[in-house]
Structure 1
Amino acid sequence: MNDKPYANEAMIKMLVNVFGVSPNDYESEHEQTLLHYAAWAGNAEAAHALIELGAEVDAKTLDGHTPLLFAVQQRSVDTVRVLIEEGADANAWDESNRSILDHLFVDNMVETTRRNDLRVIRLLLDGGADPTLGLTFALSEDHGLGVRAMMRAGADVQAACIDVGDQAGACALRQVDILRARREKNRRSTGPDGIKTRC
């Protein structure tokens, strides 16, 4: 059973149209809008309904977190898709100067949640996310799927290294070299039919 609260579209429309709740009002304690809560709950239907009723798709908390970041943190593929389709900024930065991709690679997630990583990464890249932004964190967190996705999407390794300083950049370049060496080793250890010939 899912313990996340799910609001349906009719309930949301009633709150806004009958009770006068604004979809852009901030809840004072956490400085989050209803759209933030829908994104955190992974409720794509509620997110879509709120946006149709005028919710600001890129509303930010005090920390600069957008609903898209919340959906990404939950690895909610459907909610990420809705927010991207409605124009959410896939390159949004928070107050700690981290992009949405940075958060995706740094957040420690349980294995069942990480299974959606590649789908979420692809949605973000298709939605205009800059692959260079997340490359350094993908490398530092040894997120192989993320590194490959960023490289395939055209991430600029040199620019990613410059952004984080020489020492970290050198480390990132070494990690790229290690990943390339691993890939080459895997190629050499498989036959033409793709079957491993040695361990």
Structure 2
Amino acid sequence: MAVHFHEEDLPAGVLTGDAPLAVDTETMGLVTHRDRLCVVQISDGGPDEHLVRFGPESTYDAPNLKALLGDPNRLKLYHFGRFDLAAIEYYLGVMAAPVFCTKIASKLVRTYTDRHGLKNLVDELLGESMSKVQQSSDWGGPVLNEAQREYAASDVRYLHRMREELLVRLEREGRMEMAQACFDFLPTRARLDIAGWAEHDIFSHA
């Protein structure tokens, strides 16, 4: 198992094939227009994870990464995909779909709890533990330390296995069709976020 670090784009020929891609992002904050995209993490479920870091002056001209993310024939796995889809489209100019979101799937089948964070799911579904210590660290600094790189890699390391566990539960509870409809809507929800409709959106009574 290795974490591969790249500046500004993936190398050519990386992550070829048709396996689903686990994807995550690290940004300077939670406001997409204000807080720049710093890191994209990506994995095909194999032993390695790839991190692509973008500097403060980046033009986000990353043709290899964009081709992978924009491939309509490869499923993308996220945890809270709504945020990542918006950041990727806003900065990289591609809609990284089709989508499976483990957080949405968890909310549809783990109705016995309100704990749907990635750490919670990894613990319950996979029996493993992960650290979130670096979650709020400075992702825009000149150097990403080893702890940051490991944290970023861990955000995509478990998504393939988690999807398999959640698929079993979605089928068991008869909620697969509902889940798929939610996944299909996520790109539009991300675009609503970018356009300014936040929590109280057009579906809200407010």
Indicate the structure whose relative CO is greater, using CA pairs within 8 Å and at least 6 residues apart: 2
Fold-level similarity (TM above 0.5): no
User: Which structure has greater helix proportion?
Assistant: 1
User: Which structure has greater strand proportion?
Assistant: 2
What TM-score, normalized to structure 1?
Answer: 0.31
Select the structure of larger CA radius of gyration: 1
